[in-house]
Chains A and B, each alone.
Chain A
Amino acid sequence: GAVVSQHPSWVICKSGTSVKIECRSLDFQATTMFWYRQFPKQSLMLMATSNEGSKATYEQGVEKDKFLINHASLTLSTLTVTSAHPEDSSFYICSARDFSRRGGSYNEQFFGPGTRLTVL
C-alpha cells in the first residue's frame, strides 16, 4: 500500500516554543492531506485539510494562527504548532489519499505513523 511518513516521531519542547511536523507521501502524489489530533483514549479529531498550493481548510474550533499548515508540494505538508503550551500535548497524525487508486480503495486514507508532542 501507499506509504505516508511523518517526522519527527516524537518531540518534547518547552512551553512557548514552536514545533514543526512534516508529513510526506512517499510513493504517490497527494494534493490533499489531512491533519488529525488524538488525545489519550479519545477518537481522532480532524484539525484541518491541507491543499497543495492553496490555504488549508480548518475545522471549527481550530485556531489557524496557532496551527500553521503549509502544503508546498505534492508530497509534503507541514504542521507548525506555534507557541506550544502543555494543553497542545497530543498525538498528531497526518493522512493522505492516493487519488490514483480508483475503485474500492478510492476513499482509503493512508496514515502517517504519528508524532507524539509533549510540551513541558
Chain B
Amino acid sequence: RKEVEQDPGPFNVPEGATVAFNCTYSNSASQSFFWYRQDCRKEPKLLMSVYSSGNEDGRFTAQLNRASQYISLLIRDSKLSDSATYLCVVTRDDKIIFGKGTRLHILP
C-alpha cells in the first residue's frame, strides 16, 4: 500500500461545478500536509497548506482529519483554468511524499 493514496481520476467536470479530491495517508507520524497543482509538463506549484482547522482560499477549501488520516480539497465554481493534476503531499521528518495525483479536466 502506498503511503499517500489519492482518487485515481481523471475527473471530467463541467465548468461551474464543485469538485472534491480525497487523499489518505498511512503513516500517523506524518507532520505537514499540502495540496500542489501540476500542469502538464510543468513543475508542481503549491496550492495550499492543509490544517486541522480547515483553511479556505477563495474557491478552494482544504481540510485535514488526523484521526482518519484523511485530507480533502474542494474546488467551488470550477473554471477552465483549474484543469490540472492535483497532488496530495505529506511530509514526515525530512521526507516529502507525493500522491500519484488526480487529473482534473474542466469541460466548457
Interface residues of A (CB under 8 A from B): 32, 34, 42-46, 49, 91, 93, 104-105, 107-109, 111-114, 116
Contacts and interface: CB of A to CB of B under 8 A. Distances in A.
10 contacts: A42-B100, A43-B101, A46-B95, A49-B94, A93-B43, A93-B44, A107-B34, A107-B96, A114-B41, A114-B43
B100 A112 contact: no
Given A91-B41, A93-B44, A107-B91, 20 more contacts: A32-B94, A34-B96, A43-B99, A43-B100, A43-B101, A44-B44, A44-B87, A44-B98, A46-B95, A46-B96, A104-B49, A107-B31, A108-B49, A109-B44, A111-B43, A111-B45, A112-B43, A113-B43, A114-B41, A114-B43
Nearest to A44: B98
Nearest to B43: A111
B46 interface: yes
Contacts of A116: 41
Nearest to A6: B43
Given A91-B41, A116-B41, A108 B100 contact: no
Interface residues of B, number: 20
A108 B89 CA distance: 10
Contacts of B96: 34, 46, 107, 109
Given A43-B101, A44-B98, A46-B96, A109 B42 contact: no
Contacts of A93: 43-44
Interface in B1-59: 31-32, 34, 41-46, 49
B25 to A, nearest CB: 14
Nearest to B94: A49
Contact of A43 (B42, B87, B94): B87
A43 B96 CA distance: 12
Nearest to A46: B96
A91 B99 CA distance: 17
Contacts of B41: 91, 114, 116
